[in-house]
């Protein structure tokens, strides 16, 4: 390996972990890709494919599959954590049993933990003792694994409390096809990435019900308004929501056939029930759990989030999707900007 090339562990060989392993491998790094399944490890090392998660893609020789977490982490000082939000704590607990020196953890997952209402960087900080924690960095933005693995132009953003660490991660991933920005607003980047999945589910439902582009544009725009309202109340920079982790990710997830959240919503709109939908997906649909968390956050921060509320009722209270849309449309008239203007004025007063 050349001097600036590193050994990097990617923990989780689903679609996103594998696509990011490819970006790092394209940049000349040695990638240790960890997975739970021995069969998947054999497939990756012997056939150079990951058929379940990224069909049709050939993996280069500088990606090695590992079933042993210990071996995957050996010699790496940076780990990319690419497991679903619900597996973050368990994964971090397993990692800290093994590593003896501090690591940088780059999380690429998009969710919020229900009940604790923690963001992923907060969960990682809670699980990893300080002496083993170099930095936590988030990588987020409009980026479907299927397109990244085809080297189609993609832009993402990285953020951290330690922006020097975020800049190092920017350098690790940045290449001709994968452009990485930085944004110091860690909270905003994580909230934008997590909450767009709720709106993507709603956009899928709308398409499944047979509604058109007007309805989808409304969901994206008013979805962004409620994400910005909550995020700003929580302390995010409102401008983050006009960036890659905000409107960027909303556009890609609400309009793409690749989106797992959109697909799940689409099936719900066509009349399938939640259990049937999740069973048939075979991949993580983060928006379902995040809807629960966002519903709790809306209560905690006394924020009006009508789309989240409507989706919560469809997912967990048996409300029919068509009825939920009717209720959204029949709400009292209001000024498009009023809530956000109030929140921003409150913020200015506090400063
Ligand atoms: N796919 C994408 O385009 C993008 C995804 N993301 C985010 O990345 C995260 C991962 O998503 P994605 O790769 O799509 O998900 P997938 O469903 O494709 O893969 C999930 C991966 O996590 C593993 N996993 C699941 N549960 C556990 C567990 N308890 N312990 C250890 N490993 C586990 C799975 O292993 P196994 O195969 O053994 O079940 C699999 O390797 C999500 O938060 C998603 O929102 C972000 C940007 C883009
Ligand atoms: O976050 C993503 C793209 O940026 C992936 O979204 P889905 O999980 O809906 O596929």
**Structural domain ending residue among the three candidates 162, 184, 206:** 184
**7 vs 34: CA distance, rounded Å:** 13
Testing ligand 1's pocket by substitution, the residue of 16, 41, 199 carrying the most ligand atoms inside 8 A of its CB is 16
**Structural domain ending residue among the three candidates 184, 206, 236:** 184
Atom of ligand 2 nearest to the CA of 144: 3
Is the same domain home to 143 and 258?
no
CATH assignment of the domain containing 140:
3.40.50.720
66's enclosing H/E stretch is strand 63-66
Residue 312 annotated as lining a ligand binding site: no
Say whether pTM exceeds 0.95. Answer: yes
Counted domains in the chain: 2
Is the same domain home to 207 and 124?
no
**Is 196 part of the annotated catalytic residue set?**
yes
Is the same domain home to 198 and 177?
no
CA-closest candidate to residue 91, choices 177, 9, 197, 15: 9
- β-sheet bridge partners, residue 119: 112
In a domain, 80, yes or no: yes
In a domain, 2, yes or no: no
**21 vs 23: CA distance, rounded Å:** 5
**101 vs 99: CA distance, rounded Å:** 6
- Cα of 27 from ligand 2 centre, angstroms: 23
Is the same domain home to 56 and 123?
yes
**62 vs 175: CA distance, rounded Å:** 17
ipTM of the complex model = 0.99
Range of the domain at 32: 7-184
Tens digit of pLDDT at every position of the chain (351 positions): 555 899 999 999 999 999 999 999 999 999 999 999 999 999 999 999 999 999 999 999 999 999 999 999 999 999 999 999 999 999 999 999 999 999 999 999 999 999 999 999 999 999 999 999 999 999 999 999 999 999 999 999 999 999 999 999 999 999 999 999 999 999 999 999 999 999 999 999 999 999 999 999 999 999 999 999 999 999 999 999 999 999 999 999 999 999 999 999 999 999 999 999 999 998 999 999 999 999 999 999 999 999 999 999 999 999 999 999 999 999 999 998 877 777 777 777 776
In the sheet with 133-140, reading across from the earlier edge strand, the strands are 63-66, 30-34, 7-11, 78-81, 103-107, 133-140, 154-160, 178-182
CATH assignment of the domain containing 257:
1.10.1040.10
- Cα of 64 from ligand 2 centre, angstroms: 25
Query: Which candidate in 196, 233, 263, 292 is catalytic?
Result: 196
CA-closest candidate to residue 228, choices 215, 248, 246, 255: 246
Residue 284 annotated as lining a ligand binding site: yes
Atom of ligand 2 nearest to the CA of 249: 4
**Structural domain ending residue among the three candidates 120, 155, 184:** 184
- Cα of 208 from ligand 2 centre, angstroms: 18
């Amino acid at each position: 390996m050349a001097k600036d090339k590193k050994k990097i562990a990617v923990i989780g060989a689903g679609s996103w972990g594998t696509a990011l392993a490819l970006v790092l491998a394209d940049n000349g790094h040695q990638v240790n890709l960890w997975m739970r399944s021995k069969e998947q490890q054999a497939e990756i090392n012997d056939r150079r494919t990951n058929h379940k998660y990224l069909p049709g893609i050939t993996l280069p020789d500088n990606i090695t599959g590992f079933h042993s977490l210990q071996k995957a982490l050996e010699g790496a000082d940076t780990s990319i954590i690419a497991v679903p939000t619900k597996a973050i704590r368990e994964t971090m607990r397993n990692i800290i049993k093994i590593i003896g020196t501090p690591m940088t953890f780059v999380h690429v997952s998009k969710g919020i933990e229900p009940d604790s209402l923690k963001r992923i960087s907060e969960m990682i900080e809670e699980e990893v003792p300080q002496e083993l924690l170099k930095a936590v960095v988030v990588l987020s933005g409009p980026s479907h694994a299927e397109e990244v693995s085809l080297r189609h132009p993609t832009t993402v953003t990285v953020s951290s409390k330690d922006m020097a660490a975020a800049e190092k991660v920017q350098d690790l991933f940045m290449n001709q096809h994968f452009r990485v920005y930085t944004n110091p607003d860690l909270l905003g980047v994580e909230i934008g990435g997590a909450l767009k999945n709720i709106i993507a589910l709603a956009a899928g439902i709308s398409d499944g019900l047979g509604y058109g582009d007007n309805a989808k544009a409304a969901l994206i725009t008013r979805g962004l308004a409620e994400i910005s309202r909550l995020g700003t109340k929580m302390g995010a920079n409102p401008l983050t929501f006009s960036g890659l982790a905000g409107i960027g990710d909303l556009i890609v997830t609400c309009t793409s056939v690749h989106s797992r959240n959109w697909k799940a919503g689409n099936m719900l709109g066509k009349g399938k029930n939640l259990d049937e939908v999740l069973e048939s997906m075979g991949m993580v649909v983060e928006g379902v759990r995040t809807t629960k968390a966002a519903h709790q956050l809306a209560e905690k921060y006394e924020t009006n989030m009508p789309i989240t509320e409507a989706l919560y009722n469809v997912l967990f209270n048996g409300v029919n999707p068509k009825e939920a849309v009717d209720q959204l449309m029949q709400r009292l008239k209001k000024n498009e900007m009023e809530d956000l203007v109030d929140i921003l004025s409150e913020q200015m007063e506090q400063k």
